[in-house]
Amino acid sequence: MTATKQATVHEAFAAVMAAVQGIRKGERVESGPARFNFRGVDSVVNAVGPALREHGVLIVPTAEHIDVERYGTKTGGQMKNVTVTMRYTVFGPAGDSFSGVSFGEAADAGDKAVSKAQSVAYRTFLLQALTVPTDEPDPDQNVHERAARQDAPQSAPDPLQMAKDRLAAACRTAGVAPQTVIDWAITPSGPNGGVALNVCTDPKVFDALAKRVQDGGFADPTPDEAKAAVQGELGGTEVPA
């Protein structure tokens, strides 16, 4: 007895395609200003499902990637936006298969965002794989001009940080340890004490120290010499505590 040859998955899927000629938009949105008809996942599955079963075609979904974004609404609510990448493996009656990928995106205030996104992906896969007419406007109808790119304004250089960088560079060039400069500058002298570089906000102090390092005059001074050296570089300006 000769066994009946089963159709390949491509032959079976082509038969499903021939059986599903169109799916009308049987659902309507009446939410706020939105007024439009749409074709939901149930309408698509109800139209495609009988043909899949008749021709022995099985579709198995696999989630490949999911991206979740949480954001607040203008009214203070919390929403979750989910984008999924789904792979659908189509098996024919003989056991052979092929697969395709589809994407879905949806938002929900509760726990339905993932299932909604998966439904969108499945509906899109069926409509595109079966080449079902959608009666949607052609994307090429609309032309959008991209606005000129506006780079973020650059902040003005910080004089204090620039002075600190110059001092650090001078130390590296002269082979002077930064901690040595810090200890030297804070050496107390007189009623005002020395200069604590960790709280000093005067760029001139750092530039004076950098010049002293560059001139090779950096040495271990007496307390009076420490303060006088910095004040001398500042032109007699009193060094802050």
4: in domain: no
3-state secondary structure of 66: strand
3-state secondary structure of 55: coil
**pLDDT for the residue numbered 129:** 95
**pLDDT for the residue numbered 162:** 92
| Spatial separation of the C-alpha atoms in residues 49 and 219, rounded to whole Å | 89
Q: Are residues 165 and 122 in the same domain?
A: no
- Residue whose C-alpha is closest to residue 195's, from 236, 240, 159, 233: 240
114: in domain: yes
Question: Cα dihedral sign for 194, 196, 201, 202?
Answer: positive
In order along its 241 residues, the chain shows pLDDT tens digits of 455 789 999 999 999 999 998 776 655 555 555 554 556 788 888 889 999 999 999 999 999 999 999 999 888 889 999 999 999 999 999 999 999 999 999 999 989 999 999 999 999 999 999 988 776 655 545 556 666 667 667 778 889 999 999 988 988 888 888 888 887 777 755 444 577 888 888 888 889 888 888 887 665 554 455 555 555 555 544 544 4
Q: Are residues 117 and 223 in the same domain?
A: no
Q: Are residues 126 and 54 in the same domain?
A: yes
237: in domain: no
**pLDDT for the residue numbered 183:** 79
Q: Are residues 113 and 42 in the same domain?
A: yes
**pLDDT for the residue numbered 241:** 43
**pLDDT for the residue numbered 102:** 97
Q: Are residues 95 and 26 in the same domain?
A: yes
**Domain containing residue 65:** 9-130
**pLDDT for the residue numbered 1:** 47
**pLDDT for the residue numbered 143:** 57
CATH number at residue 20: 3.30.390
Q: Are residues 122 and 47 in the same domain?
A: yes
> Encoding tokens for residue 65?
């990637």
